[in-house]
Amino acid sequence: MNRRELLKRSAALMGAGLWGGSELISPKSREPDRAAEGQIMTVTGPVAPEDLGPILPHEHVISRFGEPPARRPDYDLSALFDTVVPILERVKALGCGAIMDCSAAYLGRDPLIMRRLAEMSGLHLVTNTGYYGAVDDRYVPDHAYDETVDQLADRWLTEWSDGVDGTGIRPGFIKTAVDGGSLSDIDRKLVRAAARTHTESGLTIAVHTSGNVTGAREQLAVLEEEGVHPSAWIWVHAQNVDAPDALADAAERGAWIEFDGIGPDTIDRHVELVQAMKQRGHLGRVLLSHDGSSFPPEGSEPRPYDLLFTTFIPALKEAGFSGAEVRTLTVDNPRRAFTVRIRN
Ligand SMILES: [Zn+2]
């Protein structure tokens, strides 16, 4: 479905009194960005996917998680650069080609810092657009409740075309999050706005869903209503799902299944998760990351994001995974997942 059809439908819904939008939507007309299609959009510009090696699809290079929401995070810059640059240099030396930074707006996202970090470390970094609706919507700004779905999508599409916060630094994916159980009104709205943003931009939608199987199914239903294929959607924190068949069902439909909590104590568990997907024939839909955090707020422990290279890949090989399968998991899958492309 294109935007014009969507607008027609929204106008019809408003006319029928089914949708509480109080003003008519007048979206800017946007040309699809052909130059970005088929590329991965990093904070220093588009990069050909085949030029990237292994990609970490879910880390927090910088984060204010746990602190009050802030439009502009207040970082101690010299401490930040001193801490983070060596960490990025190290993962780059271990073979990492790019990191997707999942710190969303209002919980630590800062595109200018990310670009500086990419320049200083030589590692490709990717930032995001969208709003984070988990932890009881603590990081959802007030305007998200007042505005229509299309107005929210318009904000995120403006970040896509003009850069995050007007910096010219463009997001490489949409990051949102939902709370547990059936989708709340605001979480459903965020997912729908993400779907419409995808339809216009081709940006992949990564949704913190965790073990919420009901919420995952409802999200896929929203995507279907919006004409977005499940392959544009990532089930974030899927390692918390204790029903492997639910993950296999979503993978069967084309969704990406992200096991992103790799840590020192989870190696065996993560190998089992990947094996379960392999047995069900869905190795080609699995993403792996740490959900690490290299510059958390004071009082939070940093979480490393080098274990994939130092410990987890060797553990996979020991468990019988071939080099080609490891490449599928760490190179081909994330590359395909994050390549800008409209999927309908
Ligand atoms: Zn995370």
CA 236–ligand 1 middle distance (angstroms): 8
- Could you tell me the distance, in angstroms and rounded to a whole number, from the CA of residue 7 to the centre of ligand 1? 33
Query: Cα(208) to centroid of ligand 1, in Å?
Result: 8
Sign of CA dihedral 123, 283, 279, 239: positive
Ramachandran angles phi, psi of 124, nearest 5°: -70, 130
DSSP H stretches of helix in the chain? 3-15, 77-93, 111-121, 134-137, 143-146, 149-162, 185-201, 213-225, 244-253, 267-279, 307, 313-318, 323-327, 333-338
Residue 19 has a pLDDT of 34
Using the mean position of ligand 1's atoms as its centre, give its distance from the Cα of residue 267 in Å.
18
Show the tokens assigned to 226. 């919006």
CA distance 254 to 175: 19
For residue 284, the CA-to-ligand 1 centroid distance in Å is 22
Contacts of 103 (CB under 8 A, 6+ apart): 60, 61, 62, 63, 64, 65, 109
pLDDT of the residue at 7: 45
**Ligand 1 centre distance from Cα of residue 135 (Å):** 12
User: What does residue 293 show for φ and ψ, rounded to 5 degrees?
Assistant: -155, 110
- List b or e across 289-298, with b for residues whose CB sees 16 or more CB atoms inside 10 angstroms: bbbbbbbbee
Domain ranges for the chain: 49-338
Ligand 1 mean position to 23 CA, how many Å? 35
Q: What local confidence, expressed as pLDDT, does residue 28 receive?
A: 54
Task: Please give the pLDDT value at position 72.
Answer: 86
Determine the residue type at 256.
Answer: W
Reported CATH class of domain 49-338? alpha beta
To the question of pTM greater than 0.85 for the whole model, the response is yes
Query: Distance, CA 140 to ligand 1 centroid (Å)?
Result: 16
Q: How far is the CA of 207 from the centre of ligand 1 (A)?
A: 10
DSSP string, 95-143: T--EEEE---TTTT--HHHHHHHHHHH--EEE-EES-B-HHHHTT--TH
Whole-angstrom distance, CA of residue 180 vs CA of residue 135: 9
**Overall residue count recorded for the chain in this entry:** 344
- CA–centroid distance, 59 to ligand 1, in Å, is 6
28 CA from centroid of ligand 1 (Å): 32
Q: How far is the CA of 291 from the centre of ligand 1 (A)?
A: 5
Q: What is the pLDDT of residue 71?
A: 86
Nearest to 245 by CA among 218, 207, 271, 217: 217
Cα-to-centroid distance, 292 and ligand 1 (Å): 7
Whether the CB-CB separation of 46 and 131 falls below 8 Å is answered with: no
Mean pLDDT of the chain: 92
Q: How far is the CA of 147 from the centre of ligand 1 (A)?
A: 26
CA 305 / ligand 1 centre spacing (Å): 12
58 alpha carbon – ligand 1 mean position (Å): 6
Contact in structure between 176 and 208 (CB atoms under 8 Å): yes
Q: Say what the pLDDT of residue 160 is.
A: 97
Q: What is the pLDDT of residue 35?
A: 81
Rounded to the nearest angstrom, the distance between the alpha carbon of 127 and the centre of ligand 1 is: 13
Tell me how far the alpha carbon of residue 303 lies from the centroid of ligand 1, in angstroms: 11
Q: Which two tokens stand for residue 329?
A: 């998991």
38-91, pLDDT tens digit by residue? 999 999 999 999 999 999 999 999 999 889 898 889 999 999 999 999 999 999
* pLDDT per residue of the chain (344 residues) written in tens, 0 to 9: 454 454 444 444 443 333 333 333 444 556 667 789 999 999 999 999 999 999 999 999 999 988 989 888 999 999 999 999 999 999 999 999 999 999 999 999 999 999 999 999 999 999 999 999 999 999 999 999 999 999 999 999 999 999 999 999 999 999 999 999 999 999 999 999 999 999 999 999 999 999 999 999 999 999 999 999 999 999 999 999 999 999 999 999 999 999 999 999 999 999 999 999 999 999 999 999 999 999 999 989 999 999 999 999 999 999 999 999 999 999 999 999 999 999 99
